[in-house]
Structure 1
């Protein structure tokens, strides 16, 4: 009985992680991925953030997709960089890791217009994966340099994210490099 009362008191005095600043400013219309302008993708990405004992976002998982993998990946990448929290504390006041839900609403600015590029656009990235299937890094091989996280072609490949492990012909795990090349050509319709 006494243990139950102490446990309830400890739980009651615990504090949740609280955002530092306005989370509504962490992602703005300027972060809307240029690749989604043509499709006009919009929606809400519901995420679950892992916040460590220092208040830093260590992981972001999509709980409910916006319907666009690009919007979802961009949102998580931006939250991991820009999201800052006062750490959660347990009943004794010690800092603890915790999870927190964060919702991102994606809307394309109504005054944004779409201009056809004059030349085809090609982007190529190299993604290095270790023997355990963990992404070690992503490098832009070809294409324009990113002007920010929303236009960075490496956003879907954050360091530390689990990828598919690979094996050699004998079934032994191996490190590998994935080279992804994307090209786009826009033409006016007749």
Structure 2
């Protein structure tokens, strides 16, 4: 049996049919940095994945952040606190021009590389929103992970998202050791992933691009 984890992307989810979709107005790469890694966890070699969900207020602030998946409670709490302090959005607007609340997700991996803290951002869908849960994009038997010497691994895929919300042009940017796993990873993703594309100020959907980090292991 194999298991997969796509870290939740930086995404926002509309709660109604907006005239203008929400968008980030601060750089998400500045929301959490290596300077935020608790030194006691670095010293202890503590690492972990954190996926959170939150509300985006009419004023564009992150509120009600809660943990969806965390390996280390302290890192989950810290992720939420930093997002509520630093993340800012232009809120979504309805057809009458009034801002309304929406929801978002965010995922990172707190890692230590050669004794130094590292923050690996999980995914970015370019302000598009997954129509179906990324957790369902892969299942047991989808990838030949047993071909890997260690039975586990990770890879990074980049792709385009069309105005119809379909993924195209998927390519593996940081491959796993298995060419078969790399080929199949994009095929499965293009077949299953669907998105609500972002909406421009003209009220029309626009194409965008994104990436995901996929981790997998055999049991």
Instruction: Report the TM-score, using the length of structure 2 for normalisation.
Output: 0.42
**Higher RCO structure, 1 or 2 (CA under 8 Å, sep 6+):** 2
More strand per residue: 1 or 2?
2
Instruction: Report the TM-score, using the length of structure 1 for normalisation.
Output: 0.48
